[in-house]
Chains A and B, each alone.
Chain A
Amino acid sequence: MEDCLAKKMEITVSEAEKRTGRNAMNMQETYTAYLIETRAVETQSEGQCAPVDSLWRRYSEFELLRNYLSVTYPHIVVPPLPEKRADFVWHKLSADNMDPDFVERRRIGLENFLLRVASHPVLCQDKIFYSFLTQEAGWKEMVNETGFQLKADSRLKALNATFRVKNPDKRFTELKHYSDELQSVISHLLRVRARVADRLYGVYKVHGNYGRVFSEWSAIEKEMGDGLQSAGHHMDVYAASIDDILEEEEHYADQLKEYLFYAEALRAVCRKHELMQYDLEMAAQDLTTKKQQCEELATGTVRTFSLKGMTSKLFGQETPEQREAKLKVLEEQIQEGEEQLKSKNLESRDFVKSAWADIERFKEQKNHDLKEALISYAVMQISMCKKGIQVWTNAKECFSKM
């Protein structure tokens, strides 16, 4: 942890800018570019600040980085990116990717992503990540040259594995179940929260109408006029206050969203394990089959049904030379297979060990972060209640002077 990049380098995503350019099909497109600034953390001695390096990246490059990390470190719960499109919006929020509020929240999310990666004991040491932060030109080519796309597992293969694994690791099964449930409950929470925000907005805004009618009413009153008028002003303040309150709550929603996407990353590790396990089981089975075939060939007994065996029976036996050749090939394959199985087993054990270590690290991080998020949410609610009490107390005083 002492060596992680975040300790050595200040990383910020400080600006966002609208750009126009030409895409792969030479069509004009508009996109947002984000400015990444980095600065080496100096020891306090001179009090001088190191110079700031900066470069521009767009969202698709962040995605490329994350894909690379996911494939290259399949045993790690890789931090997620902020959402690609605005989701869980309530009516006032825009679903438009170009909306300044959305861009701003995305900027914060991207910075958070980089800090998460830079604080991770394993990920922070990755060279591609370092280049992402420091080398603007040629980075894409560098990533593609790693050939990581080839290592990526096909979706179909992964799905296949889920259904065919015979001896899944119980811990991973439980974890997979947990991550599914977590995704489901956080999605539900975010959906309802958006509706709650919508309704609360309505309640506050309608109070603004009191402001106008009290003002109109005060015009025909003598003694009551002043009290009514000033109370109306407080009603306007009350109605306006909801905007800031809900904007702050969006940060809470973003914190929940991060863990919604983290659940997906957790799921990915489980999926990788399933794949490895399946691979292992397939290799073991293949080896067993070959060993059996070998035995049959050597002893001449046909224990397993094979089309070849049948056809040879029907169309004549093989020569002893042919049989000898086959046996030799099989023995070679068995040899290879055993070595492969050994290394696969080792790979699997290593995977489980390092994955589990990262999962424990992740659990602690999650518990800490979500607790902090809940505390900050409670603090927001407390602040909202206090503001409400203040406004109505002010209004009450105005009414008392009527």
Chain B
Amino acid sequence: AAGGPKPLPSSGPKSLREMPHPLATSSSEEMGPALTPSPDLLLPRSIADKDLSLPNGTPVDTSSPASSSSLLNRLQLDDDFDGETRDLFVTVDDPKKHVCTMETYITYRVTTKTTRAEFDLPEYSVRRRYQDFDWLRNKLEESQPTHLIPPLPEKFVVKGVVDRFSEEFVETRRKALDKFLKRITDHPVLSFNEHFNVFLTAKDLNAYKKQGMALLSKMGESVKYVTGGYKLRSRPLEFAAIGEYLDTFSLKLGTIDRIAQRIIKEQLEYLVELREYGPVYSTWGGLEVELSEPLEGVSACIGNCCTALEELSEEMTEDFLPVLREYILYSESMKNVLKKRDQVQAEYEAKLEAVALKKEDRPKVPTDVEKCQDRVECFNADLKADMERWQNNKRQDFRQLLMGMADKNIQYYEKCLTAWESIIPLLQDKPETK
């Protein structure tokens, strides 16, 4: 099944039989970067074809590492896959406060609409709390260690500083949780994860959580990468590059976060002064006769600018900063995945060396070492595929985030402009002689 013409990026959905199995050929590396989806594509694709099988007819087990990378490679060819072919939609909304004797907490409604066979019903609606999301993320990290798992908003909030039950906080969190689930939904491998399925569908999630161990074996998720403290000699160039990129990236994001916070602080201090400034014009107006209306007009105008500024600062706090912080968390978790990969490679290299030291003229490599090699190659393939998808999503996310920031500022200035333009006729008006 090796060889065959290399498919063109824009050739549309292909039957799996036409595509070469990436692990069978050495051209898998070449396929990666050249097949970056076109920039216009906003939504990552999901698998439409449910009958997945390898060219040799073997059915594809979507949860095993070997097949996930092949799937990913196939997906990267399908770059004109649009939203209409998606078959899984998840939304987080409707936060509600629950007051119990032991604690008070918020739950969110998680709504699912799907045509996938993995789901018994086409629609689901369940209520989940942050703990549940946290549980899901841990499960995903455990069961899909070769993949990049999206971040959750921060778990702990300093009590007394932030009101956990304020509308703004809950809304910010809701958006982040929604984004979290949508990112998983859009991932070709993670979206088929059993834990994710249960999270979306189970009425009693806690019962399921308790039987965790039983399910593990049922699904053959024995992919526990035992990191036996192996030391990696050197990271391959491309992963070293990713690591360096992530380091600088999170550094820059941290700086941007600080700048954004500083701007908000300065704006609020500016607002304090403006709030004193406006009324002085009004006081002055009270002293005057002919100038009374113009001065009142200026006072009201400054008041309008204050409102606009307050809205801008609020929006930046609620919409801009959380997304930045999410990406910083994302980078941190990605760096950990890189380290795990290093471990897997280190184990393989150590075992290989051990075999080479023995005086063997057996040409065949022991299965044990072969398995390690497989693991390394799968991990690498998965990680590379995920990195590319992450890079593309990151670009879209930041494009949207920064355009949003520019928009909010434009709207602020437009509100102020309207206010000032509207008083010009008032100022120029000649009062009737009394």
Contact = CB atoms under 8 A, between A and B. Distances in A.
B295 interface: yes
A220 B249 contact: yes
Given A367-B290, A392-B406, A216 B252 contact: yes
Contact of B416 (A182, A189, A381): A381
Interface in B268-307: 269-270, 272-274, 276-277, 280-281, 283-284, 287-288, 290-291, 294-295, 298, 301
B409 interface: yes
Interface in B381-422: 395, 398-399, 402-403, 406-407, 409-410, 412-414, 416-417, 420-421
Given A206-B262, A206-B266, A220 B427 contact: no
A188 B39 CA distance: 56
A106 to B, nearest CB: 26
Interface string A215-227: 0110010011001
B403 A378 contact: no
A385 B39 contact: no
B395 A224 contact: yes
List the 10 closest pairs (A to B, CB-CB), nearest first: A396-B406, A199-B270, A385-B417, A388-B413, A399-B402, A217-B252, A392-B409, A202-B266, A203-B266, A402-B399
Contacts of B420: 378, 381-382, 385
B256 interface: yes
Given A189-B281, A382-B421, A402-B398, 13 more contacts: A178-B287, A185-B283, A206-B259, A209-B255, A216-B252, A217-B252, A375-B427, A381-B416, A381-B420, A388-B410, A393-B406, A396-B410, A400-B399
B248 interface: yes
B259 A192 contact: no
A392 B410 contact: yes
Contact of A374 (B245, B263, B427): B427
A375 B291 CA distance: 12
Interface string A57-73: 00000000000000000
Contacts of A200: 270
A202 B421 CA distance: 25
A171 B152 CA distance: 73
Given A181-B287, A189-B284, A399-B402, A375 B424 contact: yes
Given A189-B280, A399-B403, A402-B398, A389 B417 contact: yes
30 contacts: A178-B287, A185-B287, A186-B284, A188-B280, A188-B283, A199-B269, A199-B270, A210-B259, A213-B252, A217-B252, A220-B248, A227-B399, A231-B402, A367-B288, A370-B291, A371-B428, A374-B298, A375-B427, A375-B428, A377-B298, A378-B423, A381-B420, A385-B420, A388-B413, A392-B407, A392-B410, A396-B406, A396-B410, A400-B399, A402-B398
A386 B256 contact: no
A193 interface: yes
Interface in B232-256: 245, 248-249, 252, 255-256
Given A185-B287, A200-B270, A209-B259, A400 B403 contact: yes
Given A213-B259, A378-B423, A385-B417, A196 B277 contact: yes
A253 to B, nearest CB: 13
A395 interface: yes
A370 to B, nearest CB: 6
B336 interface: no
A313 to B, nearest CB: 59
Nearest to B283: A185
A195 interface: yes
Interface residues of A, number: 49
A182 B288 CA distance: 9
A140 interface: no
B138 interface: no
Contacts of B298: 374, 377-378
Contacts of B413: 385-386, 388-389, 392
A192 B298 CA distance: 15
A223 B40 CA distance: 13
A207 interface: yes
Nearest to B403: A399
Contacts of B406: 392-393, 395-396, 399
A143 to B, nearest CB: 36
A373 to B, nearest CB: 10
Given A223-B39, A378-B298, A192 B277 contact: yes
B25 interface: no
B263 A206 contact: yes
Interface string A167-183: 00000000000100110
Contacts of A217: 248-249, 252, 256
B273 A192 contact: yes
Contacts of B266: 199, 202-203, 206
A210 B410 contact: no
Contact of A196 (B273, B288, B399, B410): B273
A189 B290 CA distance: 19
A203 B263 contact: yes
B417 A382 contact: yes
Contacts of B398: 224, 402
A172 B392 CA distance: 77
Contact of B410 (A223, A389, A402): A389
B280 A185 contact: yes
Contact of A402 (B395, B414, B424): B395
